[in-house]
Structure 1
Amino acid sequence: MTDDRRTVLRGRYLSLGFGELFAAVVFIGVAFISVLPLLERPSDGLAFWSALVPLLAILAQAGVYWLLARRWVKQRTMPRGLASVYRGFRVLDAALLLAGLVGIIVWFPAHPFAAIGIPFVWLLGVIEYVNYFVVRLAYPPSVWFQRIGEWRTPRLMQDVQAAFGS
């Protein structure tokens, strides 16, 4: 692979990394400015955080991954120690999503907006989890329907597998 291709990928990874971290910051901002003030009961807030925390964790992990991946893209494999951390995140994030679902059920909000919005936030976390740890879901809109059926392994998991030679 040429240095030009590596440079292009490093730029793309930089954009993806900052994009995921920025998305997490936006979700936090929207939570404090727009959502939390509307929730009437303390349990509504607990349900909301049950949905949001897993999403924020996955976005932050993904953002850090893309930024770190700039170091090894097209030159070597992901460091084994980091690959082990992301293997752990795969399990931890699934547990966070499950705990978040339990929290949403236990503290299900009474407000109609929250009753719809909170499960939607949790579902975004599930989608991000699947996209990073199970099967690639992110494609440009023009080719999404053509590519989604390929069931490709996400780049993160390719890097984790390559680190262990599998």
Structure 2
Amino acid sequence: MNVDNYTGGYEATKHLIGLGHTRIAHVSGPELFLSVRERRRGFEAAMAEAGLTPLAVAGAEFNIRSGFDVAKAWLRSGTVPTAVFAGEDGLALGVMDAFRDEGYRIPRDISIVGYDDQVFAADIHPRLTTVRQPMEQMGQQAVRLLLRLIDGSLKRNMSVCLKPELIVRESTSPYSPAP
């Protein structure tokens, strides 16, 4: 069973592009995970389709501190995106903290999208726009497959790919150049 991470990355990035952002950066998790590579591939495809080049792409560990450190490094180098697609909600939270620490307002100065719709995503301020994995559907499919294995009706390997859902909240807004 799998989630279409490519589509999740693509839709998150298309959302930011649709809001008028062109200086978009991406921070992802460890490359060893297929989900990380697929989310980044979706990001890159949406950017290319729009005729845009990613402002920055960085890999990190899946945690808040890594997102914070990556964003601080971008800021130190003068690489200031108007939007960031973070491949995981903890990374997104770290990016938000780093930009706020430097006086940026979210989403007025920078829009941020996470991935996973973790429990805290709807509780932080501003609430995080994120890509929700269909956990309930994943559980239901797993039970169905297990029952078919038990009763012998599953004769061969079966692959199920579920679609993620973009959840738009307050951490993204239309791009407006600084006055």
**TM bracket (short chain):** under 0.3
Q: TM (normalized to structure 2)?
A: 0.26
Q: TM (normalized to structure 1)?
A: 0.28
Which one has a larger percent helix, Structure 1 or Structure 2? 1
